[in-house]
Amino acid sequence: MACADTARMNLRIASAVPDPPFEFFENGEPAGFDVELTRAIASKLGAQWQFVPYAGDDFNGIFAGLSDGTCDVVASGTTITPARQTVAAFARPYIRSGQSLAVNVQATPHVRSVEDLHGLSVGIQRGNTSEAVAQKLLDEGKIAKIAWYAYHDIEIALGDLEAGRIGAVIKLEPVLRALVETHPALSVVQAGLTDELIAYAVAPANGELCERINDAQKALLEDGSIDALARKWFARTVHTAVYR
């Protein structure tokens, strides 16, 4: 939806849930970093914020909503990649982060990095930027195989890791750290596997909205709002920071 369509437009935010601390449901209501930041951006734009959960098996399917009119913005801890730039326009990055490695520290205490994964399988979500990391490890013979999960089945992947059916899970650091908090046997043992810029995405033709998001982000960065949100939601991460 173009920014000038109405004086009080709906800003429809598409997110793949659960993906804490970026977006998740708490007591039936959306919560998280992206939820709070996009609400603040919508306020700056004079828009009505609306949440559009994405439930597809492959994360990359979320971008179809930009072209078919289902949503106005993809806001889901979304890394900028060359492939995604062919189907979406990205606003200025707001977070810099990277992939991390979680293992069952009780079952495989010797695994402290990707160099210790020989003979083990690694779980990843379809369409996640962890795919490239896992594929490189497989090509180099450092893992036995890749276990693929639907994007919304991340808890199934973590359950399989707890049960010993897979040897590790790779995912963006702040998300993986948040998820393993409810799985005592699991721990993030390595972070900073990649360097990724995270940004909000709009339809390629919606340059006006992209620029208005950039302006709103700039104002929220200058007044300290984004830093405050980062301290709130990313306090326990190591390789995650506000992009400046």
Q: What pLDDT shows up at residue 8?
A: 65
Who contacts 102 (Cβ-Cβ below 8 Å, separation ≥6)? Answer: 158, 161, 168, 169, 170, 171, 176, 179, 180, 186, 187, 188, 189
Do the strands 10-16 and 73-74 form a parallel or antiparallel pair, or are they unpaired? parallel
Report in angstroms the alpha-carbon separations of 237 from 97, 191, 240: 9, 9, 6
Whole-angstrom Cα distance, residue 76 to residue 84? 13
Q: What is the pTM of this model?
A: 0.93
Domains of the chain (ranges; CATH) run: 10-96+197-242 (3.40.190.10), 99-190 (3.40.190.10)
CB 61 within 8 A of CB 193: no
Query: Model confidence over 228-241: pLDDT tens digits?
Result: 999 999 998 999 99
Within a 13 Å sphere around the CA of 104, how many CA atoms are in the beta-carbon half?
Answer: 18
Query: Model confidence over 2-42: pLDDT tens digits?
Result: 434 435 689 999 999 999 999 999 999 999 999 999 999 99
**What one-character DSSP code corresponds to residue 19?**
B
**What single letter denotes the amino acid at residue 107?**
A
